[in-house]
Structure 1
């Protein structure tokens, strides 16, 4: 049987999870419909009950402690188990209902997933879909994500994976730029060209190329760096330099001739090269809303990736 202490702590633990996920008392309090001071008192009460400090509070930011991280991880498991109990109770509903939170890289959302969102919501009016554009690592547990689209050759081994299709990186430039600056013949030639890159990390302007057993790493430079794929593509189309794009982003531009592939006999290596992977947590009782979403994606998306 559950102890009285455990039962009394459950609401506070749920509030604690929300504070961690939102990153602040103010944001979490807004979602809960309470004041930040009231929520702060809730967390203080929880810390007292657990005899553990959960946060390091400063005037600038809220940092979870090592003990707080352990409490968070276990609390999320508890909340997920409670959600599964709700899902089981609703499994007999003929119409899937409830909320699904989906995460995917921005470029994938814009170029591939966006056209499929509205038809899915029309087909399943009882489902609420929350879509987040997340570039970089996607941690389902910590971010409260139900299903994630990842562009990678190293999927998370702790999650279920459905491979939707391959994705490759393509180096491109406009015909006008090539006429003016010349066509790069080797990766090393890029050192003499203007290149558009992401500028998110220190290594974003270091490009790796592979052909057979030959490997080249090139440090590129350029006057325009941006982590938005469509704006970067417009820059390449307008002759600002050479850029790297996923095949699903650049395919139409190649077809209409506004850009041309460069160094197409080389493979570009990156963390975002490999496969389009659909990943979600293993569960004994999959809610109907998630099952119909997975079925919809597996049926509709692969053909888009191969076109």
Structure 2
């Protein structure tokens, strides 16, 4: 264990190494920017603390003792270790390497982030990426997460936030389901339809609708509820009912015609409505690996989201 005495000796040991390397107090003192007499007192203090004689001093020559050589060898190891610590710190901020832990909702990972992971890792071969699918709210700092993607209109105020774009919720159903059951014209009509919702909380089947000054809250029901977006989409395509999705999840299916939008002139609000927010802790000393990841996604993702 370190103690106060050892810590106080470290600068003196570093000065001692320089005296040995330079071969004289005068040359070493010049490099340190002190007087030879001040440096001599430092070495005397070190000898007293270590209870050894480090040099044989003569008027013409400075000779290191046997004990002094052992102290020197160990001190060099100390300085080399300190240099390695400096080098590691420097590389951490200049060279993109090491591990990044990223968290995002499952739907966002599947539909948006997944295509960018392989190209990013290919561009930065010294970075290791740990990706965690986490839905709902979570404490980024306490969970050891470096950067998180959140779908929310209430980002964490204690974290840095970069908005990548907006996200809206969309209702949709298969053309066959609409042909068999009709297309709802008003939110209240959903109560007579089978609806697919997340089933994560007691309020996931309560949908809030806004249009101009109108506001409607509708409690829906259905035979199939699941918090996995791709399985929910598959259920909608199979005609199991009207499902709720983020726009980036359902966009392709709407464009290809396998599903159709329902109540598209209404806005749906929930805990997952608002901005696609990239959040991370504020720091003056951001590691290079994290900086390049943040730069990469803020440069590449908005274009995909807008397509």
Normalised by the size of structure 2, how large is the TM-score? 0.71
Q: 1:148-159 to 2 correspondence within 5 Å?
A: 148-159=148-159
Distance 1:273 1:92 in 2: 35
**Count of residues in correspondence between the two structures:** 227
The root-mean-square deviation of aligned C-alpha atoms, in Å, is 1.9
Question: Does structure 2 retain, via aligned residues, the 8 Å contact 1:101–1:144?
Answer: yes
Q: Measure how far apart 1:138 and its partner are.
A: 2.3
**Contact conserved, 1:87 with 1:286, CA < 8 A, in 2?**
no
**Distance (Å, rounded) in 1 between the aligned partners of 2:245 and 2:100:** 29
* Superposition pairs of residues 170-209 of structure 1, within 5 angstroms: 170-209=170-209
The match for 1:101 is 101
Alpha-carbon separation, structure 1, partners of 2:88 and 2:137? 28
Structure 1 pair 291–196 and aligned structure 2 pair: CA distance change class (3 A): same
- What pairs with 1:1-307 in structure 2 (closer than 5 Å)? 88-91=89-92, 93=94, 95-307=95-307
Whole-angstrom distance in 1 between the partners of 2:136 and 2:285: 29
* Secondary structure class of the residue paired with 2:141: helix
Q: Give, in angstroms, the shift of residue 170 of structure 1.
A: 0.5
Q: 1:223 to 1:100 in 2, by over 3 A?
A: same
Q: In 2, Cα distance between the equivalents of 1:303 and 1:282?
A: 26
The CA distance in 2 between the partners of 1:113 and 1:161, in whole Å, is 17
Cα distance in 2 for residues equivalent to 1:87 and 1:189: 63
Would the aligned equivalents of 2:104 and 2:134 in 1 still touch at CA under 8 Å?
Answer: yes
Residues in 1 aligned to 2:181 and 2:3: alpha-carbon distance in whole angstroms: 74
Q: In the aligned structure 2, how far is the partner of 1:151 from the partner of 1:205?
A: 19
Deviation at 1:89, TM superposition (A): 3.3
- Whether contact under 8 Å (1:164, 1:278) holds in the other structure is yes
Q: CA deviation at 1:85?
A: 8.6
- Secondary structure at the aligned position of 1:172 is classed as strand
Q: Describe the SS at the equivalent of 1:138.
A: coil
Contact 1:149/1:277 (CA < 8 Å) preserved in 2?
Answer: yes
Name 1:52's counterpart in structure 2: none
Query: Following TM superposition, by how much is the alpha carbon of 1:90 offset from its aligned partner in structure 2, in angstroms?
Result: 2.2
1:191 touches 1:219 (CA, 8 Å); kept in 2?
Answer: yes
- 2: CA distance between counterparts of 1:292 and 1:133? 21
**Aligned equivalents of 2:116, 2:88: Cα separation in 1:** 25
- Bigger Rg, which one: 2
Which ranges of structure 1 fall in alignment gaps of 5 or more residues? 5-83
Q: Quote the Cα distance in structure 1 between the aligned partners of 2:200 and 2:87.
A: 40
Give the match for residue 8 of structure 1: none
| Counterparts of 2:205 and 2:86, CA distance in 1 | 48
8 Å CA contact 1:208–1:217 kept in 2: the answer is: yes
Change (3 A) 1:253 1:98: same
Distance 1:264 1:85 in 2: 58
Runs of 4+ in structure 1 off by over 4 angstroms are 84-87
> How far 1:142 sits from its partner (Å)?
1.2
Gaps of 5+ in 2: 5-84
- Deviation of 1:91 after TM superposition, in Å, equals 3.9
